[in-house]
Structure 1
Amino acid sequence: MITALALLCATNLASAEAERVGTATRIETAVNGDYGTVEVKEPVHRDERIVTSRSGLGEFVFRDGTKLAVGAGSVVKIDKYVFDDSNSVKKLSIKAAKGTFRWISGNSKSTAYSILTPAGTIGVRGTKFDFYVGADGKVAMVLLSGRAQFCGTGGCVQLQRKCDCVIAKRGQRPALTRASRKTLTALGNTKALPFLSDNQHLSGGFGSSSDCGMSVAVLDTPNDTTPATKEQSAPNRSQPNKPDAPNRPDTPSTPSDPGTPDTPDTPTPDKRGHGYGDKNHTHTHDPQGHAYGGANGGGKGHNK
């Protein structure tokens, strides 16, 4: 218990004694320092190591007015900070281990600033620029205003025009080029310079006067490589699709009414026969169909 309290007190004492060199003006997601999580309006200190999360962003303003933006997945250390007076410094240097950054010079002389990277040193000349340090040590720098130089193995390269770009590797001479859509392709990372390619957005005081044509570079990398398919209408979310109802079989036709058979015609008695017109006239026939009686219509079987 006593040991824990001693360590806590020692940590707080070290924090109090550490020289405050700047202030956090904006924090997104998560930014950590040597003394814990960094919050807005909290100080940063000399020799402090700043680390941002994979989606983090930190904006810092130093006491001489210098501004430093630290993008996602970055690690940087405030290496040296020597005051000249209340508004300027004799020496301000930082070590960028990895990630992406924006630098805007403050009120101090340009010779007071230096930025150390794995591939070389950036010399500042009253400048605004972005730079990137890859996990493999590859470095890229894009000038936005003023002048700067990058010194690596084999010599130095001067950046004098807006959108001048340097790409450097460990052990190789830095190459001067112009920032364009091809810059991110050369770096193999579409998020290498997020403040220029629109992957991260800075506050107004840190904003860029130019994206150097890189804001559309991410459009060259398709987000979806799935082959296009024929567009289909979306199903109704409230009711599942129902299979089409089978066609109803035709109702068999009702056979035509055969109708009542025709009543055979009643034979009309021959006017010339016997008993014509006599309703009461009857006679009896023999088995051969001959009427009994004589030819004169009288005789047996006739009733009158």
Structure 2
Amino acid sequence: MSYLRRAVIVALSLALSGSQPASAAEAVGEAIRIKTEVRGASGPLVVKAPVHRDERISTSRSGLGQFVFRDGSKLAVGAGSSVVIDRFVFDDSKSVQKLTVAAAKGTFRWISGNSKHSAYQIRTPAGTIGVRGTVFDFYVGGDGTTAVVLLSGAADFCGRGGCRQLTRRCDCVVAKPNGAMTDASPVNRGTLRMLGNRQALPFLSGTQRLSPGWSGSGCGLAAALEIRPDKVPNPPPVATEPEPPQKPPKPRPHKPDPPDKPHKPHKPHKPDKPHKPDKPDRPDRPDRPDRPDRPEHPHGFDRPDRPDRPDRPDRPDRPGKWK
């Protein structure tokens, strides 16, 4: 009896395990970068967590997840996004026969791996993106409006309104679920106005940054938007990745500009001094008449003898002086 009971238990266990699809536990890739919050079927995902077929991956309003599949293909899932890997057929040559991604909403970047281009297919509410060896960003709005921006290689987008080829770098196509579709033209600021979301392409505008080796050309979108993280008016529904807090700079008192020096008036020009007339020449002095010769002295040059002076009388001896 005990043997029969054990046999029944083993048979039920095998039946239950066999009823679960083997592909449900098949790992098709892994997470290599997680920021903020990214969830899978079993809860929050962490770096190196496996990603399974048919598993829905969703990110928070500031979340970011980067995933690598078994054939080397890469998928970045931006903030406020939801996507499912709903078909994955892997062979033994490190490539896939079929890899289908169903994007419900949000923003994404796709980088092809080692498989044939025809093996990849990305489905959106407005149409299907055919991959032809490429790198591109795509956005799916809440109403299903889809935008595809080519960064490398080539791609095509087919919807109810027909197909569009993207062959030049930064070519963009915008399509709606009702079949309305634009021609391929360079992405610009008007593309974001058409989508109604300034943050629709964050990997191009720079509001979310990917790991080295995942980044492509920004197509000039960041410069066109003139984004300043410290002054973004009216934040859009999809929040950007929070930046680490920084200490505000100390305010410095504004020094008033020094007053302009008063302009010195020009000195009036001094008139030239009047020219002095030349002094008239002095008239020559008349020659002086010669002086008349002096008359000769009657006695010539000899003077008359002076009369001898009378001898002076001897002075009387002064009393008391001579004895």
Shorter chain as denominator, the TM-score bin is 0.5 to 0.7
For 1:66 and 1:100, the matched residues in 2 are separated by 17
SS in 2 for 1:211: coil
Report the alpha carbon displacement of residue 186 of structure 1 after superposing the two structures with TM: 1.5
Structure 1 spans left out of the alignment, 5+ residues: 1-9, 226-233, 237-304
| Deviation digits for residues 143-177 of structure 1 (CA, Å, limit 9, x no counterpart) | 00000000011211000010010000011242122
SS in 1 for 2:67: strand
Matched, 1:205 2:213: yes
For 2:22 and 2:38, the matched residues in 1 are separated by 17
| Deviation digits for residues 232-251 of structure 1 (CA, Å, limit 9, x no counterpart) | xx899xxxxxxxxxxxxxxx
Report the alpha carbon displacement of residue 86 of structure 1 after superposing the two structures with TM: 4.2
| Deviation digits for residues 76-104 of structure 1 (CA, Å, limit 9, x no counterpart) | 00010001224100000010000000000
Structure 2 spans left out of the alignment, 5+ residues: 1-16, 235-250, 254-323
Matched, 1:67 2:56: no
Specify whether residues 14 and 38 from structure 1 end up closer, same or farther in structure 2 by C-alpha distance, changes over 3 A only.
Answer: farther
| Deviation digits for residues 197-232 of structure 1 (CA, Å, limit 9, x no counterpart) | 011000012111x1111112433897359xxxxxxx
Runs of 4+ in 1 over 3 A off after TM superposition: 13-17, 220-225
Contact 2:24/2:54 (CA < 8 Å) preserved in 1? no
Matching residue within 224, 227, 232 for 1:223: 232
When the two structures are superposed, what TM-score results if normalisation uses the length of structure 1? 0.67
Q: Which amino acid aligns with 2:210?
A: L
> What root-mean-square deviation, in Å, do the aligned CA atoms of Structure 1 and Structure 2 show?
2.6
Q: Which amino acid aligns with 2:97?
A: K
Which of structures 1 and 2 has the bigger CA Rg?
2
Question: How many aligned residue pairs are there?
Answer: 219
Specify whether residues 173 and 85 from structure 1 end up closer, same or farther in structure 2 by C-alpha distance, changes over 3 A only.
Answer: farther
For 1:160 and 1:18, the matched residues in 2 are separated by 38
For 1:93 and 1:216, the matched residues in 2 are separated by 34
Matched ranges for 1:263-302 at <5 A = none
Q: Percent identity?
A: 61
Residue of structure 2 in register with 1:27 after alignment: 34
Q: Which amino acid aligns with 1:51?
A: S
Q: Which amino acid aligns with 1:32?
A: R
Q: Which amino acid aligns with 1:54?
A: R
Residue of structure 1 in register with 2:147 after alignment: 140
